[in-house]
Amino acid sequence: MTHDLDHDATYFLELQTKTGWGRTLAKFAEWCAIPPGSLALDVGSGPGLLAKLLTETGVHAWGVDVDAEMLAQRLHPAMLQADTYRLPCAPGAVDYALASNMLYLMDEPQPALNEMARAAQRVALLNPSELMTMQAATELADGAGLEGLARDTLLNYAGRAERLARWSADDLSRMFAAAGLDLERTELTMGPGLARMALGVKRIADSRWREADGRQPATPA
């Protein structure tokens, strides 16, 4: 089956359910270590596998995607259609906003990160690392014996990263700082470290602000 790698919702459904990307999202969800009962938004969720995985750990997770076709093939019931630059919640209304392999695709990722920081107390990202290259991805695919969709999606990921963005810890620290966040921790993943997970926390207020004034996170509108 041939897919449009930019716009085909079926491609992203198969990516999340029929390749190693599902395992990468599971590792990302575990690494984030979001406490049960927290409210989280998976921004640019596609079919919603990450939100589904988070919900299985007791997190109240919502998937958010601008593409209605993605939501039509949802893997998770709590999904919203919304613009990444205008998330459907009040400032600080959610505990965590997460984005996996979304920001690096954007012409202007900083405004999207700023919006996530507006909505949430903590922001977790997964994007190509500074080690991602076509050569490195090809070596990983060869070593793992990847074929078909699994190989194609990995090499597509590497090609886009080379053209668009690959971020180091220092890069992400600067981006987080511009959004009013401190980089709390970061770690490489995917084979020899071709992707990077990062978690940022608001500088002035974190989730404890709700304890101080009695407010509770609101369900996204």
- DSSP output for 43-81: ET-TT-HHHHHHHTTT-EEEEEES-HHHHHT-SSS-EEE
Is 212's pLDDT higher than 90? Answer: no
160/90 Cα distance (integer angstroms)? 33
Q: What is the average pLDDT score of the chain? A: 88
pLDDT-derived band at 13, boundaries 50, 70, 90: low
Beta strands 181-189; 195-202: pairing state: antiparallel
pLDDT tens digit sequence for 153-208? 899 999 999 999 999 999 999 999 999 999 999 999 999 999 999 999 998 754 44
133 by DSSP, 3-state: which? coil
What stretches of the chain show up as alpha helix (H) in DSSP? Answer: 9-18, 21-32, 49-55, 68-72, 109-119, 134-144, 148-163, 169-178, 209-213
pLDDT at residue number 47: 87
* Spatial distance between the Cα atoms of 140 and 192, rounded to a whole number of angstroms: 8
Q: Tell me how far apart the alpha carbons of residues 59 and 168 are, in angstroms, rounded to a whole number.
A: 29
**Could you give the CA distance from residue 45 to residue 135 in angstroms, rounded to a whole number?**
28
Q: Is the dihedral of CA 48, 54, 57, 58 positive or negative?
A: negative
CATH topology of domain 9-130+166-203: Rossmann fold (3.40.50)
What pLDDT does 207 receive?
44
Q: Residue 50: what are its φ and ψ, rounded to 5°?
A: -65, -45
User: How does pLDDT run across 21-33, given as a tens digit for each residue?
Assistant: 889 999 999 999 9
**Residues of the chain above pLDDT 90, percent:** 74
In this prediction, residue 211 carries a pLDDT of: 41
Domains of the chain, residue spans = 9-130+166-203
Residue 196: which H helix or E strand, with range?
Answer: strand 195-202
For the stretch 110-141, pLDDT in tens is 999 999 999 999 999 999 999 999 999 999 99
Q: Is 45 a residue whose pLDDT tops 70?
A: yes
